[in-house]
Structure 1
Amino acid sequence: MTPYRLFGMPGSLYTAKARSYLIKQRIDFEETIPADPDWPDITKAIGRWIIPVLVAPTGEIIQDGTAIIDHIEDTGLARASAYPETPVHRAVSLLFELFGGEGLLRPAMHYRWDFDETNIDFLRTDFVAALMPGATGEVREAVFGAASGRMRKAKAAFGVSPETAPTIQASYETFLALLNAHFAKHPYLLGGRPAIGDYGLIAPLYPHLARDPFPAMIMKTRFFHVWRWVERMNAAQALLDGLWPDQSLIAADGIPETLVAVMRYVADEYMPELSAHVAFANDWLDAHPDLIAGTNGLPDPGTRAIGTAEFEWRGHAIRTVVMPYRFFLMQRVQAAIADAGDAMVALLADAGLSALPTLVTHRQVERAGNLEVWGANRRG
């Protein structure tokens, strides 16, 4: 049988999420790069240049890490589902999927692009190897210049600036310390095997923050248990190190205090931004009353952003790009919170996340044809 094909890049944040999941499920797959001759036809089929993309043995094309995970789950190929059966575990894990992919973009972009003295040679070689293997001289510099130029521009769109840089570093090290304390006692977020939250967190924590030279040394020299978790997430084996007797999740739908502490960090770090983005989106939707359901409301169906929103973050007034995709992930968290009932309400209050279920966009975000689209107006 023809194996799955994963199109991505070694240094890609969102490829890491899909790759880790495929490895853990022991799916037969081959990873390839955008220089592959088939890539132009794939981008044409999905309507934009974006990774990761999974091509199934049947020829079906699936774009997006969450969609790739759900495809494998739906086909019954998962060895251990990414989605916990117990309601609190499921809701908490989905929260970390959202935060991993969307809430850690500032440190991911800062540590990749603001330390050229240490990172640049590695990044140049890595990017060119994926985009145009074998390129030399001026061509090599042009390929990297175009790719890095786009990413450096995106860095600013996520709130990275000379003014915010010291705060980003302090905030990130606080996060690593909290996560390190948790992984000192538990090999994965919820016990003996990874769940969807682990796959969300590996997205920034492997390719940007454990693989790029400068941040990798921070993690390896000061936050060993996070580094060891990164290794575990990229191995088919559990690699439990004797920290956990088996591969079960924490008993009785329990959430240890070490993980509640990380949830409190998520509340402080990400809720102001998420709240500002929902408010902006609702104003934007109100300004587009004739938006047709099933579209993104923009001239280009592949456009990911609808604008920027300003908010207060750790003493800075910053402006970041608003992308409906994160509302799609947020809705998954909110649905799981509703299913979890009173136990989750109490946990959210303890973690400072009580407002999360109230952040509702006037239209639901859906995915159709590997693109984000708006659903019907919820307000009639």
Structure 2
Amino acid sequence: MAKDDSVYTLYGTAFSLYTGKARAYLRYKGLAYRERLSTLRVYKRIIVPKTGVAFIPVVETPEGQFIQDTTAIIDTIEAREPARSVYPPTAKQRLTALLLELYADEWLLIPAMHYRWNYPRQNRKFLLAEFGRVALPWAPAFLRRLIARRHADRFAAMLPTLGIHPETVPAIERSYEALLDDLETHFSAHRYALGDRASLADFGLIAPLYAHLYRDPAPGRLMRQRAPSVARWVERMFDFNPPCGTWMQGDAIPETLLPILRRQFAEQFPVLRDTVAAVASWTQAHPGERLPRQIGSHRFRLNGTEGERALMPYPQWMLQRAIDFYASLAPAERASVDDLLRETGGLEALSMDIPTRLRRENNRLVAAPGPSQTATSR
């Protein structure tokens, strides 16, 4: 079959957190694309052979290049299709976009997974139907149910890895409900995160806020009732080729985003600091070895509640993007950004030293002694 010279292909599922991020981005850019379900057959015949890993989403370019990881997908397409860029050109707005992508992609995974798997009475029937329909769409119903249960049980078993335990659930829900309230205040006044134009911040936020927290029955009901403006923003994020407005003038950051940045620095950055230290220790103890997806565990605090969770290297790679961008700023730009960071409690966080840097190589993380990638080229 001949390749179409203008159409992208998105491999993923409707219920996948990161597929939603890639889908919203492709639609915002107004790009022609087709979507293929990541069935077991597609994993075996396409995704794993072409990327070397078994993760979605994957985007295939019109020329047949396969890109895995949503940040890599966005940055690759931004270089190919510069119109309607999602990277603001100014210092505070670009840093804010990078920070919110880090927050949404890595930290909001916690409430997303909690609300999906800890409300089985409301969600499980819906999720089993979704999983079965995607994994083996051609199979009899009983076989789809069997495979779906296996997949569902595997994902539910991941909750302790993320720090989701009975004792941390109340803190997770308080934090998420407070975030919803802050987002409701923001999106009742602004079309997107940074004004009337979508940015990387929006595509980061849409990942957890769509597939899990809007689309699943229990959290979807919570969002629609408690934060209707957030629900409308979610729906707006999937408009095809929407009007391209402007980011706020003068590199301004909406006041309504400041509580969200404060929450990120208070909740996520202590975990990131421990992650950076753990990566350095692990690579020193295992020179030349491939980084695993988990490198031990640690104690963390959320809303005054302490729990245990795994330490995972990937968030450090995301963190490096924000830190690299901050470090690249000229003195005049740095002064303005520092005012924002002081106001949100992030000045010390963005000066964090990273002894062992990470880079992506063949869709896997490897340790690198020098700078891995800049914040604008990932």
Q: Same fold (TM over 0.5)?
A: yes
Could you report, residue by residue, the CA deviation over 1:259-284 in whole angstroms, capped at 9, with x for unpaired residues?
A: 11211111222122222222222222
1:149 aligns with 2:153: yes
Residue 334 of structure 1: which of 303, 323, 327 is its match? 323
**C-alpha deviation, 1:312, in angstroms:** 2.4
Query: 1:106: which partner in 2?
Result: 110
Task: Indicate the SS of the match to 2:354.
Answer: coil
Query: 2:374: which partner in 1?
Result: none
Could you report, residue by residue, the CA deviation over 1:233-284 in whole angstroms, capped at 9, with x for unpaired residues?
A: 1112537xxxxxx711000000121111211111222122222222222222
**C-alpha deviation, 1:336, in angstroms:** 2.1
**Structure 1 residues 64, 16: CA separation in 2 closer, same or farther (over 3 Å shift)?**
same
Contact residue 283 and residue 367 of structure 2 kept, 8 A: no
Q: Distance in 2 between matches of 1:130 and 1:79?
A: 33
Residue 165 of structure 2: which of 153, 161, 165 is its match? 161
Within 5 Å, give how 1:235-314 maps onto structure 2: 235-238=239-242, 247-288=245-286, 290-291=287-288, 297-298=289-290, 303-314=292-303
Q: CA RMSD in A?
A: 1.8
Query: 1:7: which partner in 2?
Result: 11
1:54 aligns with 2:59: yes
**C-alpha deviation, 1:78, in angstroms:** 4.2
Contact residue 87 and residue 94 of structure 2 kept, 8 A: yes
Task: Indicate the SS of the match to 1:170.
Answer: helix
1:316 aligns with 2:316: no
**Structure 1 residues 238, 4: CA separation in 2 closer, same or farther (over 3 Å shift)?**
closer
The number of residue pairs the alignment matches comes to 362
**Structure 1 residues 80, 36: CA separation in 2 closer, same or farther (over 3 Å shift)?**
farther
1:73 aligns with 2:78: yes
1:355 aligns with 2:348: yes
1:365 aligns with 2:358: yes
**C-alpha deviation, 1:337, in angstroms:** 1.9
Residue 187 of structure 1: which of 188, 191, 195 is its match? 191
**C-alpha deviation, 1:66, in angstroms:** 0.6
Q: Distance in 2 between matches of 1:58 and 1:88?
A: 36
**C-alpha deviation, 1:155, in angstroms:** 1.5
Task: Indicate the SS of the match to 1:318.
Answer: strand
Q: Distance in 2 between matches of 1:255 and 1:269?
A: 21
**Structure 1 residues 376, 146: CA separation in 2 closer, same or farther (over 3 Å shift)?**
same
Task: Indicate the SS of the match to 1:48.
Answer: coil
Q: Distance in 1 between matches of 2:271 and 2:30?
A: 36
**C-alpha deviation, 1:346, in angstroms:** 1.5
Contact residue 193 and residue 238 of structure 1 kept, 8 A: no
| Bigger Cα displacement from structure 2, 57-66 vs 37-46 | 37-46
TM normalised by structure 2 equals 0.91
Q: Distance in 2 between matches of 1:28 and 1:37?
A: 24
Gaps of 5+ in 2: 372-378
Could you report, residue by residue, the CA deviation over 1:91-141 in whole angstroms, capped at 9, with x for unpaired residues?
A: 001000000100111100110001111111110111111111143454223
Q: Distance in 2 between matches of 1:154 and 1:254?
A: 39
Could you report, residue by residue, the CA deviation over 1:169-218 in whole angstroms, capped at 9, with x for unpaired residues?
A: 11100000011111111110100111011111111000000000000011
Could you report, residue by residue, the CA deviation over 1:75-104 in whole angstroms, capped at 9, with x for unpaired residues?
A: 1x2431011011110000100000010011
**C-alpha deviation, 1:36, in angstroms:** 7.0
**Structure 1 residues 157, 14: CA separation in 2 closer, same or farther (over 3 Å shift)?**
same
Contact residue 53 and residue 363 of structure 2 kept, 8 A: no
**C-alpha deviation, 1:158, in angstroms:** 0.5
- Matched letter for residue 342 of structure 2: A
Q: State the identity %.
A: 36
Query: 1:35: which partner in 2?
Result: 39
Residue 23 of structure 2: which of 13, 19, 24 is its match? 19
- Matched letter for residue 123 of structure 2: N
TM normalised by structure 1 equals 0.91
| Bigger Cα displacement from structure 2, 205-214 vs 330-339 | 330-339
Q: Distance in 1 between matches of 2:220 and 2:121?
A: 14
Within 5 Å, give how 1:116-135 maps onto structure 2: 116-135=120-139
Q: Distance in 2 between matches of 1:360 and 1:128?
A: 45
Q: Distance in 1 between matches of 2:264 and 2:151?
A: 30
**C-alpha deviation, 1:359, in angstroms:** 2.9
Q: Distance in 2 between matches of 1:190 and 1:9?
A: 28
Q: Distance in 1 between matches of 2:74 and 2:131?
A: 25
